[in-house]
Amino acid sequence: MSLTLLIVQTLNGLQLGVLLFLIAAGLTLVFGVMDFINLAHGVQYMLGAYLAVMFYGLTGNFLFALVLALGAALVFGLILEFAVFRHLYDRDHLDQVIATFGIIIFLNQGVKLLWGASPLSLPMPEIFSGSVVLMPGILYPVWRLVIIGSGLAVALILYLLVGHTRVGMLVRAGATNAPMVSALGVNIRRLFMIVFGFGTMLAGFAGIMIAPILSVEPGMGDTILILAFVVIVIGGIGSIRGAFLAALIIGLVDTLGRSFAVDILRLFMAPSPARTVGPAIASMLIYLLMAVVLYLRPAGLFPAKGRA
Amino acid sequence: MAQLALSRGGAPRRSLLAGNALPILVFAAFALLPLFAAFKAEAYVLGLVTRVMIFAIAALSLDLLVGYGALISFGHAAFIGLGAYAVGILGAHGLHDALITLPVALAVSALFAWVTGIVCLRTKGAYFIMITLAFSQMAFFIATSLAPYGGDDGLTIRVRSTLAGSPILANDRALYYVCLACLIGAYLLCRALIASRFGRVYRGARENAARMGTIGFEVYRFQLVMYVIAGMLAGLAGFLLGNATDFVSPAFMSWQRSGDLLIMVILGGMGTLNGAIVGAAAFLLTEEWLSGLTEHWKVIFGPLLVLVAVFARGGLIGVGTRLRGMLRG
C-alpha cells in the first residue's frame, strides 16, 4: 500500500465521484422537483457516449462531437419527456418505474441494433492524451484530470444557477413544495421541462466525458444508474449539495475499497481467503454505507428542507 | 357480469363462484395443461409453465408487500437466490432431501428478511426502495464471492431434491404438479392473511400508518412480520426454481431480476392476488413469444411496458375490470 498508489487511487476516486455527481445532479432534481423516479436516466448517460462516438465518426473532431452529442442528448431527452414522461408526473411511482424500465430495455437493445453489440471506443483529444507528473514518480493521465476539472466546474455552475438565479429559486421552491409554487402562478410544467432537459444533458455530458477511458457498450448505464441512486439517497433526495458530497464519498469509498480491501484484510487473515473475500467486501462497501446512513438518518445526510 | 350482479343480490353460492372465477380458471388450466402438452414438445411446455408458476409464487409474495402494504421492495430477488442456493450448497455436500433443504431455505430467507427488515422498515417511500436494493446487492456480491460454490459462474445442481428419500421430483411432471400445489397453497395463504385481522391492520397501515398507530397498533411489527412471510414465500419460489433449472447463480439475485418481479406485479395489477399470477404469466409468456419472433425482441417488449404504464391503469386486471364495466354499460 504505497503512498504513490494511494494518491493515484484517491484521484481516481475523485474522478468517479465527479462523474457520479454529473449523473446524480439531474436525477435528484427530477426526483426532488417533479417527484419522478426516472430509471431511464442511466441510459441517457449511455446515449451520450454513443452519440459522441457517432458524431466523432462523422466530424473527426472531439469538440464538435461533444457539442453535437450534448445537443442531441438534450433533444432526445425532451422528446422522451414529451412522448412519455409528462403523462406520468401525477401518477404513482410504480407506473413511472415500469415505464422507465421499459425505456431502458428498449434503448439497451436499440443501441445494439444501431451500433452492434461489441464495445466501441472514442479517441480522446490529442492535447489531453498524455500523462502529467504530479510529483516525482507519480504520473497521472491528463484526461482524468480534465474530467475532475470539468465536473467541479459544472458543480460550481449548478451552485450558482440553483442558488443565485430566478430559475434556481423556483427549482428550489419546487423541490420543497411544488403545488404551492404552481399556485403562485409559475408555469410548473415549463419548469419541469427545463429541469428535465438540463438533467438529461448533464447525464449525457458524463457519458461523453467518460467514453475515452471506458468502452462504450450496451448496458453501461445500468450499473452507474444504481450508483447514482445510492448517491442521491445518501445525500438526501432533492438536495444538490447532498448529491455532491455523497458522490465524492461514494466515489472515494468505492475506488479505495476496491484497491485496498485485500491488503487491509491481509492484516487480519491469511492471504488466500483475503483474496476471495476482499473483492466481495469491496463491492458491498457502498451498499453497507448506504444501509448504515439510512439507518441512522432515514432521510439522507442533507435532506432538502421541507421534504424530510 | 350476471354473476356479479347476483352476488350483490345475496345468493351466497353464486357469489362464491363469481369472486373466484378467475383463479379457479387459471389453476384448472395449469392442472390440465400437461395432458395437452403431451402431444406437443412436452418438455419445453412443462419447463416454461413450471417457470411461470414459480415466478407467480414470487410475484404473489411481492404483491403482499407492494400492493397491500405500499412497501416497494426492489430487492425481492435476493430471497429467490437464497432459496436456490440452499438447495445448491446443501446438495454440494450431499444433502438432497427436501425435508432438510426446504426448511433450511425457508429459515435462511426468514432470517435475512427479519434482519434486513428491521433496518429497511425504518425508512419510507423512495428510501425504502433503495435500502431493500442495497441489501439485495449485498447478498448478490456475497454470492459472487462463494468461490467453492461457483462464484460468478454459478453452481450446477446435480441432483434434484428428494422427497423423504424418494426421487420423485426428478420427473418433470411431478415437479410441475408440486409447483402447482405450492402456487395454490401460496395463493390461499395470501388470501387468508389479507382477510385476517392481522392483514386488516397491515392494510390499514398502507392507507394511514399514523392513524393505525394512534388506534394502538404497532404498525412496524405488523409490517416486519409480513416482510418475513413474503421473504419466506419467495424463498420457497427459489427452492423450486433451483430444482426446476438444476442451476443457481448470483444472477438469480441481480437487481434486474428484482425489477422483473416488480414489473410482473404492476403489469398484472397491484393489490389483487390474481393480478400477480396474471402478471407473471403475461410477462414470461410475452418474453418467450417475442424472443421466438426476433433476436431484437426487447425493442418491442420495452415500448409495450411503456404503453401499459401510460394507458393501462391498474394493470391487466384493471383493464379487465374496466372492460367488464363497459360491457355492462
- For residue A139, the cross-strand partners are A133
Angle at A94 between CA A21 and CA A231, to 5 degrees: 15
Highest mean pLDDT among A198-202, A262-266, A288-292, B110-114: B110-114
Q: Which residue of B has its CA nearest to A113?
A: B296
What's CA A221's distance to the chain center, in Å? 9
CB atoms B267 and A291 under 8 Å: no
The 3-state DSSP class for residue A120 equals strand
Query: How many CB atoms within 10 Å of residue A307?
Result: 16
pLDDT the model gives residue B1 = 37
Residues of A in contact with B305 (CB under 8 A): 98-99, 101-102, 105
The 3-state DSSP class for residue A175 equals helix
Give the pairing of strands B247-248 and A138-141: unpaired
Rounded to two decimals, the pTM is: 0.86
Least Cα distance to A196 among A21, A17, A35, A16 occurs for: A35
CB atoms B306 and A106 under 8 Å: yes
Cβ atoms of B278 and B321 closer than 8 Å: no
Q: Is the pLDDT of residue A91 over 90?
A: no
Cα separation, A39 vs B263, in Å, equals 13
Between chain A and chain B, the number of residue pairs with CB atoms below 8 A apart is 128
Least Cα distance to A35 among A92, A103, A101 occurs for: A92
Least Cα distance to B145 among A190, A273, A118 occurs for: A273
What's CA A129's distance to the chain center, in Å? 23
Identify which has the larger pLDDT, B1 or A153. Answer: A153
Q: In chain A, what is the greatest distance between 2 CA atoms, to the nearest angstrom?
A: 67
pLDDT the model gives residue B7 = 39
Cβ atoms of A259 and A227 closer than 8 Å: no
pLDDT the model gives residue B127 = 84
Residues of B in contact with A257 (CB under 8 A): none
Residue B218 vs residues A59, A82, A162, B115, B193: alpha-carbon distances, Å: 65, 44, 41, 18, 18
CB atoms B305 and A102 under 8 Å: yes
ipTM over 0.85: no
Cβ atoms of A239 and A77 closer than 8 Å: no
Q: Which of B123, B144, B310 sits opposite A88 (nearest CB)?
A: B310
- For residue A273, the cross-strand partners are none
Alpha-carbon distance A205 to nearest alpha carbon in chain B (angstroms):
25
Query: How many CB atoms within 10 Å of residue B51?
Result: 19
**B139 is written with which cell numbers?**
447478498
Alpha-carbon distance A222 to nearest alpha carbon in chain B (angstroms):
9
The 3-state DSSP class for residue B61 equals helix
Alpha-carbon distance A88 to nearest alpha carbon in chain B (angstroms):
7
Q: Which of B144, B256, B309 sits opposite A102 (nearest CB)?
A: B309
How confident is the model over A36-69, as pLDDT tens digits? 888 899 999 999 999 999 999 999 899 999 999 9
B263 touches chain A (CB under 8 A): yes
Q: What is the mean predicted confidence (pLDDT) over A11-27? A: 94
CB atoms A288 and B138 under 8 Å: yes
Q: Which of A37, A99, A113 sits opposite B306 (nearest CB)?
A: A99
**B182 is written with which cell numbers?**
405450492
The amino acid at residue A264 is I
The 3-state DSSP class for residue B115 equals helix
What's CA B66's distance to the chain center, in Å? 12
pLDDT the model gives residue B2 = 40
Q: Which residue of A has its CA nearest to B119?
A: A295
Query: How many CB atoms within 10 Å of residue B53?
Result: 27
Cα separation, B74 vs A229, in Å, equals 12
Q: Is the pLDDT of residue A85 over 80?
A: yes
The 3-state DSSP class for residue B281 equals helix
Alpha-carbon distance B171 to nearest alpha carbon in chain A (angstroms):
36
B118 touches chain A (CB under 8 A): no
Alpha-helical runs (H) found in chain B: 2-9, 12-37, 42-69, 77-92, 98-120, 125-144, 172-195, 197-215, 219-245, 255-268, 273-293, 298-311, 315-328
Alpha-carbon distance B294 to nearest alpha carbon in chain A (angstroms):
12
pLDDT the model gives residue A1 = 53
Residue A21 vs residues A150, A162, A227, A304: alpha-carbon distances, Å: 11, 15, 10, 17
Angle at B218 between CA B215 and CA B221, to 5 degrees: 150
Instruction: Tell me the pLDDT of chain A averaged across its residues.
Output: 88
Tally the residues of chain B.
329
pLDDT the model gives residue B3 = 41
Residue A141 vs residues A15, A138, A146, A212, B252: alpha-carbon distances, Å: 11, 10, 9, 12, 38
Q: Which of B127, B145, B302 sits opposite A280 (nearest CB)?
A: B145
Alpha-carbon distance B131 to nearest alpha carbon in chain A (angstroms):
6
Give the pairing of strands B155-156 and A138-141: unpaired
Cα separation, B21 vs B29, in Å, equals 12
Which residue's C-alpha cell is 420457497? Answer: B236
- For residue B248, the cross-strand partners are B155
Which residue's C-alpha cell is 418481479? Answer: B261
pLDDT band at residue A308 using 50, 70 and 90 as cut-offs: very low
The 3-state DSSP class for residue A19 equals helix
Cα separation, B308 vs B247, in Å, equals 33
pLDDT the model gives residue A305 = 60
Give φ, ψ of A39 to 5 degrees: -70, -20
Q: Burial, B153: exposed, middle or buried (Cβ in 10 Å; 0-12, 13-18, 19+)?
A: exposed
Q: One digit per residue, pLDDT tens: chain B, 329 residues?
A: 344 443 344 444 455 556 688 888 889 888 888 888 766 677 888 999 999 999 999 999 999 999 999 999 999 999 999 999 999 999 999 888 999 999 999 999 999 999 999 989 988 888 888 889 889 988 998 898 888 888 888 899 888 888 888 888 888 889 999 999 999 999 999 999 999 999 999 999 988 888 888 888 889 999 999 999 999 999 999 999 999 999 999 999 998 899 999 999 988 988 889 999 999 999 999 999 999 888 888 899 999 889 988 888 778 888 888 888 888 76
